Structure 1
Amino acid sequence: MEPLDKEQQLERLYATPPVYEWELIVNPMHFRTKFACLLSLTFTFIGVGIFILLPSLKGLMIASSPIIVGSLMYPWSRYLLNADKRHYYAINKYGMYSTSEQIIPEIAYTIVRRSAWVGCAICVFAAIFIGPIAFVGAGGAALMSFTMTNFRSVPHKSQCLFDGYAKLRNYRENEYSLYTEYYHYGFDLMIPESKLMSIIGVIKQYNDTFEEEFVDLYKDSKFQARPIILEIVR
């Protein structure tokens, strides 16, 4: 029998029922509320600063875009950009795979897309009636508005094939990466302590060699966007 190529191995991985699986609800950034406030205030202050420098109708038009974006920035950043995430992981004898997706109702995406079109219209209106100078203060707002017109949920998939050797590296609480002989970039995992030994047991079962390593990458870091497990679904 001819050996399977990479694409065929991945098809086999996803077609084989999992031996072990787990699912988590995760807060991706423990300081996301403070970050959202800072982002919102930054855009608002930019708009106010423009109006202070240009206290006229033209200045008000130029300043309106960043002020409007600033008012929308908090809910966009807090409840959309940094929304809770659902992580699903599965292991079988051929490897591991995962799916990660933000937990956001579809109505929220619809509101953001429609709001973005309103923002685009404001930027175009400003450019037509004021001229290119309007984009001096609103360039970032215009770019963000056009980008957000197609805002939607896109599940992220990852996979790692077993090849006989596996190393599980622990970077900090609940955060791991799995390395194999031919996968040197690391397959990222969120593993709650209650499931760690069971997961290690399954990985050992399908690999001839297994190693564990702890690497404290964030020991001296003052700024850590540390994810937190909110719920173990299964």
Structure 2
Amino acid sequence: MSTTISLPEYTEADQAQQRQQVLDAEVIYEWECVLRSKDKHLMPFIMAGIFSLIYGISYYLSSDVILFYMWAISVVIFSPVSYFLFDVDYHYKGQITPKGIIIQKTERVPDIFYKITRVMAYFGIVVCLIAGLMMGPIAFVGAGAFALLSFKMTGFHKQVESWVIPFIPEHQYEYEGKEENPIYQYSVFAFYYDVLGSDQSNYNLDYWVKIYCYEEQFSELDKFMRQCIHVRNDCALGKGL
């Protein structure tokens, strides 16, 4: 019969202190991988299909040849943009310390691409406004979609996300396995550790560990994890979820 344990409750100050201890601790192991969606190659075709539908409807309603040129420009600009920015790759870096784990996820897009995209976006807004004034309200069906995407693109900057996951040394962990259906390419899987027998309805600290790495990296990574936390020995490394 399994026993459910309650984890200690931590205040915001306690959590901040524990996260700072993780940041201040010595890094004993780190790894890196690339997160790229398995469906990434479909994004340009999806974007081209969306613009074809929008401008097709606009052309059916107005039969203005300018819409054809606007469709072509939209596809040429937004298809590569969608590949690089709408379904972006990430550089994933993890660090293990005796106090916890530090995760950093950074967009893998050259800075110059953001600058070019912002310039194109402002240009696209101007073109859409001119087309709308010249061709009348019907043109706004297609030009409006272009303009909305252009406005979204004006604020593009490289995004960096970070997480700090403290360990709970007084509790035993278990390795829960890896995901069975990974969403990323290059044999990148998510692997999970959890506090053994924990009552998930009674905690306010992020203790559940989810990490991404290449499958061949995990054996070494797990060895260092077990140096920092007590992981139940009967949890097989190859177990899936």
Normalised to the residue count of structure 2, the TM-score between the two structures is 0.73
Cα distance in 1 between the residues matched to 2:129 and 2:137: 10
- Please list the CA deviations of residues 51-82 of structure 1 after superposition, one character each: whole Å capped at 9, or x if unmatched: 1331137xx35x66554332212211223333
Secondary structure of the structure 1 residue equivalent to 2:121: helix
1:24 is displaced (CA, Å) by 1.6
Contact 1:178 1:188 in 2 (8 A): yes
| Correspondence for 2:5 | none
1:147 is displaced (CA, Å) by 1.0
Instruction: Find out whether 1:93 has 2:115 as its counterpart.
Output: no
Which structure has the larger Rg? 2
For 1:166, which of 166, 173, 178 is the aligned residue? 173
Instruction: Find out whether 1:11 has 2:20 as its counterpart.
Output: yes
Which blocks of at least 5 consecutive residues in structure 2 are unaligned?
1-10, 181-186
Matched letter for residue 19 of structure 1: I
Contact 1:166 1:179 in 2 (8 A): yes
Superposition map of 1:1-234 within 5 A: 5-26=14-35, 28-56=36-64, 60=66, 67-130=72-135, 133-163=138-168, 164-168=171-175, 169-172=177-180, 174-180=189-195, 182=203, 186-210=208-232, 211=235, 214-215=240-241
Matched letter for residue 225 of structure 2: I
- Please list the CA deviations of residues 113-170 of structure 1 after superposition, one character each: whole Å capped at 9, or x if unmatched: 0011111112333444555554333333222111110111011112211113434431
Secondary structure of the structure 2 residue equivalent to 1:191: strand
Identical-residue share of aligned pairs (%): 22
Matched letter for residue 160 of structure 2: P
Normalised to the residue count of structure 1, the TM-score between the two structures is 0.75
Cα distance in 1 between the residues matched to 2:150 and 2:210: 32
Stretch deviating more after TM superposition (136-145 or 7-16): 136-145
Matched letter for residue 142 of structure 1: A
Contact 1:47 1:64 in 2 (8 A): no
Contact 2:93 2:104 in 1 (8 A): yes
Cα distance in 2 between the residues matched to 1:203 and 1:84: 26
How many matched pairs? 209
**Structure 1 residues 96, 186: closer, same or farther in 2, change over 3 A?**
same
Please, what is the CA RMSD of the aligned residues?
Answer: 2.8
Matched letter for residue 227 of structure 2: Q
1:194 is displaced (CA, Å) by 2.7
**Structure 1 residues 121, 166: closer, same or farther in 2, change over 3 A?**
farther
Cα distance in 2 between the residues matched to 1:67 and 1:39: 12
Contact 1:83 1:103 in 2 (8 A): yes
Secondary structure of the structure 1 residue equivalent to 2:37: coil
Secondary structure of the structure 2 residue equivalent to 1:23: strand
1:195 is displaced (CA, Å) by 2.5
| Correspondence for 2:8 | none
Cα distance in 1 between the residues matched to 2:150 and 2:75: 12
Which blocks of at least 5 consecutive residues in structure 1 are unaligned?
216-234
Cα distance in 1 between the residues matched to 2:120 and 2:47: 18
1:18 is displaced (CA, Å) by 1.0
**Structure 1 residues 203, 43: closer, same or farther in 2, change over 3 A?**
same
Secondary structure of the structure 2 residue equivalent to 1:5: helix
Contact 2:43 2:87 in 1 (8 A): no
